[in-house]
Structure 1
C-alpha cells in the first residue's frame, strides 16, 4: 500500500465528508417513508458519486463492491469496500453518530482502511501490519482486564432482524448486562469498532458479519485487539459473526456471547 494512495484516499474521504456536512443539521427530520428513503439515497449518492470514479482511477484494475451490506466472501484481486454513510439514519434524523468508511481489500483481506467522522474531524486509519491511528496518533485498545468495568456494545448491521436473530441479540444483551458495566446497542457498527480501537470501548460483538465491517475490524486488530468468530477461531469476512475486544476481556466476553 503506497503512501501516495493512502494520502489520496484520505483526502477524498475528507472531501466526501464536506459534502455531507453541507447536508447535516441537528434540525434534520423526516416524517414519511418516502422522505426517509429519498434522504438516505441522496446522502449515499453524494458520497458514492465522488468516491467511486476517483478511487477506481487511483488504483487501476481495482474493483468496486456494489453492496456493502452483503455477506460472504469477497471476490479476489483489489476491491474497494465503501460504506458511504455509516449511520445514515442518524444523519437524516439530526443525530451525530455517522461516518464514512473506505477499505481497500486484496484477495479477501483488508489492506488499508479509513473511517472518517466529519462532525468531530476524527480520521481513523489502519494498514495491515502497520498499526492503527487516529489523526496520525497511534491508537491502542483498552488495558482493562475486568469485564465488570468494561464498556461493551453491539448493534444492527443492517435494517430488519428475523425473529430468531432478534431473540438471540436480545438474549446476549441481557446476559452481558449481568456481567459488564454497560452495554451499548447502537449504530453505526463501524463507530463502535473505531471506539474500541481507540481504547474508549472494550468489547463489541456481532451476530451478523457484513462486508462493510471488514475495515473497522482491521482498525481493532491493528490497535492490538482480538477478533474471533463465534466459534473462537480467527475472524474472516466469511464468518457468521464475531467478538472484538481488548485482550484482557476478550475471553470473558466470548464466554458470554458465544453461548447465546
Structure 2
C-alpha cells in the first residue's frame, strides 16, 4: 500500500469535514446539545461530521472496519480499521472556545500506519504515515530537544468522570507544577499530542481516554521521534487507558513522579 498517497487522501477528506464544522460553529445553538453521560456532551455536529468522514473514508478501503466515538457505524475489519473522533474537544466547541479537532487513524493488522489530526480554527493539519515522518501542513516536524523537566512545558487533561483516582492525580499535578515551566489543559487530547509532536509541548499525560481520542495523535508523536507509554512505562497505553507522550528525553523523570503519587 502507498501510505503517503493514502495519507494525502485522508488529509483532503479531513479538511472537507473540518470546513463543515467551522461553518456550523458560526451559528451553533447550545440548545442542540445532548448528554451521553456525566459531562459527556454531543451535538448534531459531531454526528454529522462522523457520517461524512465514514462515507468518504469507506471509499478509500471498502473492506476496512470502523471504531468511532459517536458509533454511527461499528464494524471490525480483518486487516484495516479506521479509528475516528469527528470532533475532539466537543465541550470547547459548544462553549465557543476555539480549540477542537478531527482525529483519524488507520490501523493495519492492529498497528498504526496513518494518523491525521486537524486543528480546525488554526487550520493546522498534522499528519504522519508509516516510516514517513510527521508533518504540519506538509512541513516536517519533530519533538523538542529539552532534556530536563525543569525546562519543559507539559499538557494534561482533567478527569471529568470516574473520579476514583482524582485525589492521587491532584497530588501528581501539584508536584508537576513545581517541577516544570507549567501545565496546560487545552481540552483536546488530539491537539495536545500533535503539539508534543511539533515540540510546543514536551510531554502530555492523561487517563481514562478512549482509542479515538489518542490513536492518531500518538502515532504522529512516534513518527516525530517521541515516545508513547502508559503510566507504568509500558507500551499498552490503549489497553490501560493511560497515555504519557514525551520527547523521549524526560519520560523517566515523569514516570518517577507518577510512581510516587499515582501508581502507588
- What TM-score do the two structures reach when normalised by structure 2? 0.86
Separation (CA, whole Å) in 1 of partners of 2:124 and 2:114: 17
Aligned residue among 138, 141, 148 for 1:139: 141
Separation (CA, whole Å) in 2 of partners of 1:45 and 1:230: 32
Q: Which residue of 2 aligns with 1:120?
A: 122
Q: Runs (4+) of structure 1 moved beyond 6 Å? A: none
CA apart distance, 1:257: 2.2
Equivalent runs, 1:3-82 vs 2, <5 Å = 3-25=4-26, 30=30, 35-37=32-34, 40-67=42-69, 77-82=79-84
Separation (CA, whole Å) in 1 of partners of 2:79 and 2:110: 8
Separation (CA, whole Å) in 2 of partners of 1:80 and 1:156: 27
Cα distance change on mapping 1:119 and 1:81 into 2, 3 Å:
same
SS where residue 204 of structure 2 aligns?
strand
Equivalent runs, 1:1-260 vs 2, <5 Å = 1-2=1-2, 3-25=4-26, 30=30, 35-37=32-34, 40-67=42-69, 77-156=79-158, 160-212=160-212, 213-259=214-260, 260=262
Encode CA deviations 1:61-116: one digit per residue, 9 max, x unaligned.
101114479xxxx8752111110001111112111110111111122221101111
Separation (CA, whole Å) in 1 of partners of 2:70 and 2:45: 15
Please tell me whether the aligned partners of residues 205 and 244 of structure 1 are also in contact (alpha carbons under 8 angstroms): yes
SS where residue 205 of structure 1 aligns?
strand
Please tell me whether the aligned partners of residues 209 and 239 of structure 1 are also in contact (alpha carbons under 8 angstroms): no
CA apart distance, 1:225: 0.9
SS where residue 96 of structure 1 aligns?
coil
Separation (CA, whole Å) in 1 of partners of 2:197 and 2:70: 21
Cα distance change on mapping 1:66 and 1:14 into 2, 3 Å:
closer
Unaligned runs of 5+ in 1: none
Please tell me whether the aligned partners of residues 229 and 243 of structure 1 are also in contact (alpha carbons under 8 angstroms): yes
Bigger shift: residues 201-210 or 145-154: 201-210
SS where residue 195 of structure 2 aligns?
helix
- What TM-score do the two structures reach when normalised by structure 1? 0.88
Quote the RMSD (CA, aligned, Å).
2.3
SS where residue 248 of structure 1 aligns?
coil
Separation (CA, whole Å) in 1 of partners of 2:52 and 2:239: 29
Please tell me whether the aligned partners of residues 106 and 112 of structure 2 are also in contact (alpha carbons under 8 angstroms): yes
Aligned residues: 250
